[in-house]
Amino acid sequence: MSRCPFSTRRGFLGASGGALAAPLLTKAGKAAVPGMTAAPASDMSDGGAIPFFGKHQAGIATPQQTHLVFASFDIIAQSQSDLVRLLQDWTQAAAIMAAGDLVEPADGNASKPPTDSGTVRGLGPGRLTLTFGFGPGLFEKDGKDRYGLAAKRPAALVDLPRFNGDQLEPAYTGGDLCIQACADDSAVAFHAIRQLAHMAAPNDAADGYGGKKAGATLAYNAKPGVATLRWLQTGFLPDYPAGETPRNLFGFKDGTENPGRPDPAEISHGKTIGNGSLGEAVWVGNEGPVWMQGGSYLVVRRIRMALQHWDNTALDFQESIFGRKKVSGGPLTGGGEFTPLNLDATDADGNPVIAENSHVRLGAASTNDGARILRRAYSYNDGLKMIAERWPPWRQGLEYEAGLIFVAFQRDPRTGFIKIFDRMSKFDMMNQFTTHTGSAIFACPSGIAKGGFIGADLFT
Amino acid sequence: MSRCPFSTRRGFLGASGGALAAPLLTKAGKAAVPGMTAAPASDMSDGGAIPFFGKHQAGIATPQQTHLVFASFDIIAQSQSDLVRLLQDWTQAAAIMAAGDLVEPADGNASKPPTDSGTVRGLGPGRLTLTFGFGPGLFEKDGKDRYGLAAKRPAALVDLPRFNGDQLEPAYTGGDLCIQACADDSAVAFHAIRQLAHMAAPNDAADGYGGKKAGATLAYNAKPGVATLRWLQTGFLPDYPAGETPRNLFGFKDGTENPGRPDPAEISHGKTIGNGSLGEAVWVGNEGPVWMQGGSYLVVRRIRMALQHWDNTALDFQESIFGRKKVSGGPLTGGGEFTPLNLDATDADGNPVIAENSHVRLGAASTNDGARILRRAYSYNDGLKMIAERWPPWRQGLEYEAGLIFVAFQRDPRTGFIKIFDRMSKFDMMNQFTTHTGSAIFACPSGIAKGGFIGADLFT
């Protein structure tokens, strides 16, 4: 079938200026036919492509890919219209890349910088999803309503409070915009972020080498740019078969309690997670502004895990902390991974089998007035770092700068992550082994219709 | 076929002490049968396992996997015999993990720390290779012959000179020991490094939580440990089909000129690179000590690449720098990727078509007295960093902390990497876009026979 990812390229070209008047080439070098309608038969059509357009943004209910590149941006646009042009061009480029194509014009003028870095030339889509979110700074920053949007800030897009134990580093915190890139190939995810960041960046390269000036690129290249990267974080998951809950760096299964999780026997690679309870827990409904209906709020936390300390901790204590068995993932009260917790069960001494300060009890919907969030976390491994732990045995020295990029989607963070984590941050036994070093919150707008663009309804 | 990875477990158990007297379990939970001989029929037997034992260490001629975790260690052993015990136990654990199994005893005493972190429980071998190397500090450090090995230091294991432009950071430089872990799953590679580091580390965890003391683990756990992590670096490659040369973050193919490269049409996933010219270029011969014969010298360089700058550079200048076409990988003098360079060709003005200071000319065997090295490089992406570039346009600010983990194997670094890079570091046009921030050299001993251990002949 056609690789042409959208039916309205001409419309986009109009919005983007003339830089793309030449036909786009697919990776295979075939010219895509303008005006052709892409009609994917299923999530798995087109060699592992996840549809970019739809009711919801991809990358939320999509079963997790094995690699993450999370990018947070500062917006530096001088006007709302510049920002809108970027979002239109990002939409176009994201759809092209999700279909497995490169973002490059057919003319390939060798005296200009390539429109696309070409680092994944010849690769397939790799189940790439690009999920866009708006941070508080889009609406108001340093007390300024930079883009005339302050009145449109949703009540649910709160500033996250300071939680107990937070040791947030500015280098991994905040942002006015985010893009979550996920793919089954780390190079594909990074390529996409790099391409989108390049389109948004100031273009100050009066490149003297060879006497070449930086030329027009796809989309927005006017100085001084629209957005610059603020922080960037890679993540990964072990490549388990579809439907199996992946293990985190503590060796435990992570995500068993996710809402909307279909029967593992039914899930198939690339198939969207069933909508069972997602409507209640994840998708914004009529209570939100139109541009957020069908969208979701993203909370990201960079959580360092004291792996050396953990590896010297007894298995039964590890399991007490989680409240689950390590190998099976089943509750300490018995059964398999998906057996419900029995929070009332006590041992011979009358103590709860699943401890009061265990991770699973503190996170359970039943102890949080029914609050549920969709976890979409990745492990990260950034090498070593000099670290002074804040818990016994108070290790100091080179330790793993590794842990969890916790990503959670929810309908309302006030009754989602904040509700759940406020108590966890105070009482969870696991805190002895974790330190939150990064944090941000974003409003991920509803899905994008063909011909539309990211967050279009916010700007009407 | 059997998952039991070696025939001599009892012998290893003897060397390791009694901690492993209980039978090992495979990931599937089946007890491995002591004394069984593993006899892989081919590189691809056993679900993607690369044989650990053999004439050469795996991970050198092995076609590149998609993920790298490179670990450098400082040795802190108090005696040569402690070090030897670690190498014996590392050998045992590496063979188990390369076969796709976890390193854990069958009894699984819950009151002790798990022997294996279990982060990849249930996953296959993922083509895991573990390649071990000895750095200069094993033989002599701070003027001290700590382990009675100074006289055995090979002449070829030189200290790398300071090269033009080096901006080496101690956090990514040097080391007494290294392990290169490569796999098609990033979690599998990190799991292996973490396991081996855990076995070597000081065990000071008098873990007060739950009143548990850290118990016996597989292999060496006596205080104060044998080796500690010095630096750790992840890397990745785009997942190209077997036989295709991967592209680096500049978007160019990387490794076209590798020695021993078979016809791309012949290479198959998991199949060892043909031995054609490897004997000359890569494997140490009779000129080296017995323990290095069939081994190779590893040079690793962490090379930051100015991606933002590169992305604003004209395509024809990018190609002039490389001396090759970006899309095809063919020389600027014509032909496809594997067409030989024509270094004598000139353009209408009499200038060389492949410039004097182009990367490919300066790296070519024919301009280096025939010197060749086996490149086994990975891209890396460590997020963003405040950077002041040392070339025009002298950018300062947040840039990608991303680039290349250059790994090269060679028979003799004096006539390999040092010979080639000394000139490149001065003249290569690409230096305008690259900065070397990490560096180390290691002697990777010959392959390990069943019943032997890493570098055994060094200690006889």
Rg of chain B (C-alpha set): 23
Alpha-carbon gap, residue B282 to B447, rounded angstroms:
13
CA nearest B254 in A: which residue?
A: A119
A311: nearest CB among B198, B233, B237: B198
Alpha-carbon gap, residue B239 to A119, rounded angstroms:
11
Residues of A in contact with B320 (CB under 8 A): 210
How confident is the model over B174-203, as a mean pLDDT? 96
pTM of the entire structure? 0.88
Residues of A in contact with B405 (CB under 8 A): none
How confident is the model over B8-27, as a mean pLDDT? 32
**pLDDT tens sequence across B113-141:** 899 999 999 999 999 999 999 999 999 99
Across the interface, whether the CB atoms of A247 and B118 are under 8 A apart is answered yes
A201: nearest CB among B187, B212, B308: B308
B238: nearest CB among A112, A187, A432: A187
Contact status, residue A187 vs residue B237, Cβ threshold 8 Å: yes
**pLDDT tens sequence across B78-121:** 999 999 999 999 999 999 999 999 998 766 788 888 999 999 99
How confident is the model over B350-354, as a mean pLDDT? 97
CA nearest B244 in A: which residue?
A: A122
CA nearest A191 in B: which residue?
A: B249
Characterize the bridge pairing of strands A378-388 and A396-410.
antiparallel
Length of chain A: 460
Alpha-carbon gap, residue A207 to B302, rounded angstroms:
26
pLDDT over threshold 60, residue B207: no
How confident is the model over B339-351, as a mean pLDDT? 96
H-type alpha helices, B132-254: 136-139, 186-200
pLDDT over threshold 90, residue B393: no
Return the minimum-mean-pLDDT range out of B3-12, B264-273, B335-344. Answer: B3-12
Return the minimum-mean-pLDDT range out of A228-237, B160-169, B207-216, B375-384. Answer: B207-216
Across the interface, whether the CB atoms of B239 and A208 are under 8 A apart is answered no
CA–CA min distance B175, chain A (Å) = 14
Q: How far is CA A194 from CA A37, A232, B195, in A?
A: 27, 10, 33
Across the interface, whether the CB atoms of B326 and A381 are under 8 A apart is answered no
A240: nearest CB among B123, B186, B317: B123
Read out DSSP for A382-450?
EEEEEEE-SSTT--EEEEEEEEEEEEEEES-TTTTHHHHHHHHHHH-GGGGGEEEEEEEEEEEPPP--T
Count the neighbouring beta carbons within 10 Å of the beta carbon of residue B90.
24
Question: Which positions of chain A have pLDDT values less than 70?
Answer: 1-47, 106-107, 204-223, 261-276
Residues of B in contact with A312 (CB under 8 A): 113, 203, 205, 207, 214
CA nearest A109 in B: which residue?
A: B315
pLDDT over threshold 50, residue B23: no
Among B188, B384, B428, the strongest candidate for a mutation testing the A interface, having the largest count of A CBs within 10 A, is B384
The three-class DSSP label of residue B352 is strand
CA–CA min distance A77, chain B (Å) = 18
Across the interface, whether the CB atoms of A234 and B188 are under 8 A apart is answered no
**pLDDT tens sequence across B433-455:** 999 999 999 999 999 999 999 99
CA–CA min distance A436, chain B (Å) = 18
Instruction: Tell which residue, B310, B301, B305, B307, has the closest CA to residue B405.
Output: B301
Rg of chain A (C-alpha set): 23
Query: Distance from first CA to last CA of chain B, Å, rounded?
Result: 35
Residues of B in contact with A320 (CB under 8 A): 210
Across the interface, whether the CB atoms of A187 and B237 are under 8 A apart is answered yes
Alpha-carbon gap, residue B459 to B456, rounded angstroms:
6
CA–CA min distance B43, chain A (Å) = 21
Residues of A in contact with B214 (CB under 8 A): 312, 314
* % of chain B exceeding 90 in pLDDT: 72
Residues of B in contact with A314 (CB under 8 A): 110-113, 207, 210, 212, 214-215
**pLDDT tens sequence across B45-58:** 456 899 999 999 99
Q: How far is CA A113 from CA A241, B275, B315, B451, in A?
A: 40, 40, 5, 56
Across the interface, whether the CB atoms of A194 and B307 are under 8 A apart is answered yes
Across the interface, whether the CB atoms of B384 and A244 are under 8 A apart is answered no
- Residue A112: the pLDDT is 86
H-type alpha helices, B277-394: 278-281, 307-311, 315-322, 359-363
A314: nearest CB among B111, B119, B126: B111
- Residue A257: the pLDDT is 84
B187: nearest CB among A379, A382, A400: A379
Q: How many CB pairs under 8 A join A and B?
A: 236
CA nearest B67 in A: which residue?
A: A186
Across the interface, whether the CB atoms of B315 and A114 are under 8 A apart is answered yes
Among A67, A73, A116, A119, the strongest candidate for a mutation testing the B interface, having the largest count of B CBs within 10 A, is A119
Sketch the domain layout of chain B as residue ranges: 52-77+127-196+229-460
Instruction: Tell which residue, B11, B135, B10, has the closest CA to residue B74.
Output: B135
CA–CA min distance B186, chain A (Å) = 7
- Residue B447: the pLDDT is 97
A389-425 as b/e, with b when 16 or more CB fall inside 10 Å?
Answer: beeeeebeebbbbbbbbbbbbbbbbebbbbbbbeebb
CA–CA min distance B78, chain A (Å) = 20
- Residue B275: the pLDDT is 46
Across the interface, whether the CB atoms of B113 and A315 are under 8 A apart is answered yes
Alpha-carbon gap, residue A317 to A312, rounded angstroms:
11
CA–CA min distance B380, chain A (Å) = 10
Contact status, residue B269 vs residue B244, Cβ threshold 8 Å: no
The three-class DSSP label of residue B280 is helix
Alpha-carbon gap, residue A10 to A35, rounded angstroms:
7
- Residue B247: the pLDDT is 97
Which residues share a beta bridge with A435?
A304
CA–CA min distance B400, chain A (Å) = 9
- Residue B224: the pLDDT is 73
> Angle A32-A36-A40 (CA atoms, 0-180°, nearest 5)?
100
CA–CA min distance A251, chain B (Å) = 4
Across the interface, whether the CB atoms of A111 and B190 are under 8 A apart is answered no
B231: nearest CB among A207, A231, A383: A383
Residues of B in contact with A319 (CB under 8 A): 110
Among B182, B194, B315, B431, the strongest candidate for a mutation testing the A interface, having the largest count of A CBs within 10 A, is B315
Instruction: Tell which residue, B18, B13, B30, has the closest CA to residue B215.
Output: B18
Read out DSSP for A137-203?
HHH-BTTB-TTS-GGG--TT-PPPPPPTT----GGGB--SEEEEEEESSHHHHHHHHHHHHHHHS--
- Residue B276: the pLDDT is 54
Residues of B in contact with A119 (CB under 8 A): 238, 247-251
Across the interface, whether the CB atoms of B185 and A239 are under 8 A apart is answered yes
Across the interface, whether the CB atoms of A384 and B231 are under 8 A apart is answered yes
Across the interface, whether the CB atoms of A311 and B67 are under 8 A apart is answered no
CA nearest B205 in A: which residue?
A: A312
- Residue A262: the pLDDT is 55
B301: tokens are: 């360089």
How confident is the model over B306-318, as a mean pLDDT? 93
- Residue A391: the pLDDT is 79
Alpha-carbon gap, residue A95 to A67, rounded angstroms:
19
Across the interface, whether the CB atoms of A307 and B229 are under 8 A apart is answered no
Across the interface, whether the CB atoms of A308 and B398 are under 8 A apart is answered no
Alpha-carbon gap, residue B198 to B290, rounded angstroms:
30
Instruction: Tell which residue, A355, A379, A371, has the closest CA to residue A428.
Output: A355
Q: How far is CA B220 from CA B13, B38, B132, B448, in A?
A: 12, 25, 17, 20
CA–CA min distance B182, chain A (Å) = 14
Contact status, residue A235 vs residue A67, Cβ threshold 8 Å: yes
Max CA pair span of chain A: 81
Contact status, residue B313 vs residue A212, Cβ threshold 8 Å: yes
Name the E strands within B373-429: 374-375, 378-388, 396-410
Across the interface, whether the CB atoms of A205 and B238 are under 8 A apart is answered no
Alpha-carbon gap, residue A190 to B384, rounded angstroms:
13
Instruction: Tell which residue, A319, A308, A311, has the closest CA to residue A398.
Output: A308
Which residues share a beta bridge with B221?
none
- Residue A261: the pLDDT is 65
